[in-house]
Amino acid sequence: MRSSAVAWLLLIAAILPAAAQYKVALPGYRYEFPRDYFNHPEFQTEWWYYTGNLTASDGHCFGFELTFFREGVDRDPQKQGTWGIQDLYLAHLALSDLDGNAFYHGERTNRAGPGIAGIDANSKLIWNGNWKVTWKGTDQEVEAIDEHFSFSLNLHPEKPPVIHGENGVSQKAEGLGYASHYFSLTRLQTNGAVQLNGKSYRVSGVAWMDHEFFTHQLERNQIGWDWFSLQLNDDSELMLYRIRKDGSVDPFSAGTYIDPKGHSVHLRADDFALLPESQAWKSAATGAVYPVQWHVVVSKLGIELEVTTRLKAQELTGNSQLVPNYWEGAIDVKGQRGGTAIAGVGYLEMTGYDRAVELGR
């Protein structure tokens, strides 16, 4: 079911006074797996992001994205029922045909209803219609079907979950509760099939999963963020983000380095720099101008990287002015660490370039 402007206006009206019904992300949270792979209804906002780079047996290259969002609307027990709206479930789906120079994406919004969408720890399932993730032990089967394409992928983690931030929280602004609980599976060996416009491809590659849950996150003067997941060919990974304020970078920007054995190091804002370069892409749909080439310096680790993309047009645009538009796409990485050449792949997300992001305020 596609979202509409009327539906979103009604939703926002319902959600805005509801935040007091939920917990906020506070220091001291203790993660527990597999419990934390699934639902946290005591927090208002929760998302699961799957992104990855795939290569077909004939050499054809793809990027993919499948994301699930849960937004709490009401926790009044008197309003429970099959068609009651305690939560709204959103999902975004995208396929980047990197060699075909084409980008496909879709979205859907549902209530739980009689099994239409949800998160179920007992059946190990996260779904929105026929877009779903099924957990089998620590492996995940990811399946999605759209008008022009579909994919069915098996994801196997090569490292344990990585907890971002400090003391159980990823702090995004000044003050208690302006934070999220945030973890990732940073290196998922991926195998499966992609169908595109009637042609089937056997694919393999590497994927990344982010899971975040919170009630408040951004302050009103924080207009958006640039987020990078980088998987390097020495079996290390980097997650880096910069939060943008009006003309400046917020000091609550942060990141995480994960070494080949899965050990992580927290990075503060002054440990790295994300520097947009002159190459940019302007969206014909939104007018937003996105920097699609970046210089990344992690001074603490002696890492210097150039980030580029083979496909500039990777913007996901919604059907409503209330849903943020954003650029999220497959990227390539080349550079050096301590004088040794290094390369890799990853994903880049850029928000707030057409208008400030309101989510989680």
Greater model confidence, 33 or 173: 33
What's the confidence (pLDDT) of residue 5? 36
Q: What is the mean pLDDT of residues 10-33?
A: 75
pLDDT band at 182 (very low <50, low <70, confident <90, very high): very high
Identify the pLDDT of residue 310: 97
For residue range 259-285, list pLDDT tens digits in order. Answer: 999 999 999 999 999 999 988 999 999
Helices (H), the chain: 5-15
Hey, how many other C-beta atoms are within 10 angstroms of the C-beta on 338? 9
Q: How confident is the model at residue 65 (pLDDT cuts 50, 70, 90)?
A: very high
Lowest mean pLDDT among 41-55, 237-251, 347-361: 347-361
Confidence of residue 10 (pLDDT cuts 50, 70, 90): very low
Torsion angle of alpha carbons 38, 213, 258, 98, nearest 10°?
80
In this structure, what DSSP letter does residue 79 have?
G
Percent of the chain residues topping a pLDDT of 90:
79
The string of pLDDT tens digits covering residues 99-134 is: 999 999 999 999 998 999 999 999 999 999 999 999
pLDDT band at 31 (very low <50, low <70, confident <90, very high): very high
pLDDT over 80 at 330, yes or no: yes
Q: How many CB atoms lie within 10 A of CB 249?
A: 14
Closest CA to 51 of 36, 63, 37: 63
**Ranges 66-80, 164-178, 327-341: which has the least confidence:** 66-80
> How many other C-beta atoms can be found within 10 angstroms of the C-beta atom of residue 197?
10
| Gap between the Cα atoms of 161 and 135, Å rounded | 14
Lookup result for tokens 């408040």: 216
Q: What percent of the chain has pLDDT over 70?
A: 88
- Count of CB atoms situated within 10 Å of the CB of 257: 22
pLDDT recorded at residue 247: 75
Q: How far is CA 278 from CA 14, 222, 229, 275, 290, in A?
A: 42, 23, 21, 10, 10
pLDDT, one tens digit per residue, over 136-145 is 999 999 999 9
Domains and CATH numbers, the chain: 5-351 (2.40.370.10)
The per-residue pLDDT of the chain, averaged, comes to: 90
Lowest-confidence region among 93-97, 109-113, 153-157, 236-240 = 109-113
Degrees to nearest 5, angle at CA 159 with 158 and 165:
150
pLDDT surpassing 80 at residue 80: no
Residues 229-251 have a mean pLDDT of 93
Cβ partners under 8 Å of residue 173, min gap 6: 179, 217, 218, 219, 222, 250, 252
Contact 66, 276 (CB under 8 A): no
Cα–Cα distances in angstroms (integers) from residue 329 to residues 51, 105, 182, in the given order: 9, 11, 21
Residues contacting 80, CB < 8 A, separation 6+: 86
Q: Are 47 and 212 in contact (CB under 8 A)?
A: yes
For 32-52, what is each residue's pLDDT tens digit?
999 999 999 999 999 999 999
